[in-house]
Amino acid sequence: MYPITKLYQHFHYFLLHLQTIKRSVFSFLFCLPTSLLALLLLLLLAYNAFSVFSIHLPYFPAKISPVPAIFSPEKVDGESLQKFSSSVLYAVKEENPPNFSLVVPIDSSLVSRPKKEHKRRTKFKILRLGAKSRRFSAKVKEFFENSSCKLKFFMTWISSVESFGHREFLALESLFKSHPNACLVMVSNSLDSSKGNLILQPFSDKGFKLIAVKPDFDYIFKNTYAEGWFKKLKKGNVNPGFISLGQNMSNLLRLALLYKFGGIYLDTDVIVLKSFSKLRNTIGAQTVNAGTKNWTRLNNAVLIFDKNHPLLFKFIQEFALTFDGNKWGHNGPYLVSRVVSRVNGRPGFNITVMPPSAFYPVDWSRIRSFFRGPRNEIHSKWLHKKLEPYSPPKLCSSSVEQAE
């Protein structure tokens, strides 16, 4: 019994000691000034609230719906459309187009992919200049001089190397199938790399002439309105807006490239079905007035212009003076529509406006229907109507399709 009694006594003394400490703490607190006690209680409450309501949220980029530009030109209708074969080309905006290939796409497993994509990328990364960018002028001039180019093509690629896929391969294959002696300059930060060279190598192996080169914006924009706008952008005096800065830089870059070098610009989702050799200073209409057959909206996915053409200068000027990074298309398709509507009929700005059947026969939202079997009789009739101009017996049809 003695050990148990002894243990009980120790435990009793421990409880008495705790009570003494408790009384001492409360005595100390009650001795504090009222204001200090209140402050202590507020701090305790704040800590408790933080611990209860604080949660960790992973980073997600904000999804802001772009505001579409409203096109209200000085003249609603542009110049009358000239008759032309509807078999030139069409723009493909299909995520998974069929794979017919002159050049087998490179095995993506050969190109190492980053284990984890960076979620936060600065908007101005595309503006950084390196040693390769500063060699842009010499590299492009040497390429054109040594390649004996029949036609000069330009494309821009603002996305990653890994996103260059089957659709883009198809576009390049169609270009070289229709223009085997042409030269293509891919203006791109990502493709001008060891990975990019590996991806484009199959085209070079087939004897096609193409290079990928990082842009030198200072050189490309020099002596145009883009030069001053770009300097303001780098200083932070231009609001880039919610629309991708890369997309808007591509809109400006294509204009400046053609102004400096002349040639043909194509988006990387344009499938070429016929030679461009007979086209000069040409732009395509995307929509027309069903009654008058006059264009109501142009597009900048296909541009064919001589070097230093005054209309290109006007396009660049409009971009610099009216830039708005919060309206989709304002600096692209709607820009060329605004300018052409203003200069229509003025001497020195004569251009050819192609009907939608030449460059944009199918609205981008309906391209998927081309790669699927007809769902019903109505869909079947629509497919036959759209494909009829491209069938061999009517390859030279000059009918202008109505807007969808």
How much of the chain exceeds pLDDT 90, in percent?
Answer: 51
Spatial contact of 255 and 316, defined as CB atoms under 8 Å apart = yes
Least confident window among 112-126, 287-301, 308-322, 383-397: 112-126
Q: What pLDDT does residue 254 have? A: 98
Q: What pLDDT does residue 376 have? A: 87
Digit-coded pLDDT (tens) for 67-103: 444 443 334 344 455 443 333 343 333 334 334 455 5
C-beta contacts of 116-121 below 8 A and 24+ residues apart: 119/59, 119/61, 120/59
- For the segment 334-339, the average pLDDT, to the nearest whole number, is 97
Digit-coded pLDDT (tens) for 204-218: 999 999 999 999 999
367 burial type by CB count under 10 A (0-12 exposed, 13-18 middle, 19+ buried): middle
Least confident window among 8-12, 54-58, 243-247, 343-347: 54-58
Q: Is the pLDDT of residue 306 over 60?
A: yes
- For the segment 174-184, the average pLDDT, to the nearest whole number, is 96
Question: In whole numbers, what is the pLDDT of the chain averaged over residues?
Answer: 77
Q: Tell me the sheet residues that pair with 283.
A: 303, 353
Q: What pLDDT does residue 362 have? A: 78
Confidence of residue 373 (pLDDT cuts 50, 70, 90): confident
Digit-coded pLDDT (tens) for 104-138: 555 544 444 444 444 434 455 555 555 555 789 99
Q: Which two tokens stand for residue 387?
A: 């494909």
CA distances (Å), 296 to each of 88, 269, 290, 349, 350, in order?
Answer: 21, 23, 10, 18, 18
Q: In angstroms, rounded to a whole number, what is the distance separating the alpha carbons of residues 186 and 214?
A: 9
Q: How many C-beta atoms lie closer than 10 Å to residue 392's C-beta?
A: 6
Q: In angstroms, rounded to a whole number, what is the distance separating the alpha carbons of residues 172 and 180?
A: 11
Q: What pLDDT does residue 364 have? A: 73
Q: In angstroms, rounded to a whole number, what is the distance separating the alpha carbons of residues 106 and 62?
A: 34
Bigger pLDDT: 5 vs 241: 241
- Amino acid occupying residue 132: K
Q: In angstroms, rounded to a whole number, what is the distance separating the alpha carbons of residues 284 and 246?
A: 23
Confidence of residue 46 (pLDDT cuts 50, 70, 90): low
- For the segment 293-307, the average pLDDT, to the nearest whole number, is 95
- Amino acid occupying residue 364: W
- For the segment 362-381, the average pLDDT, to the nearest whole number, is 78
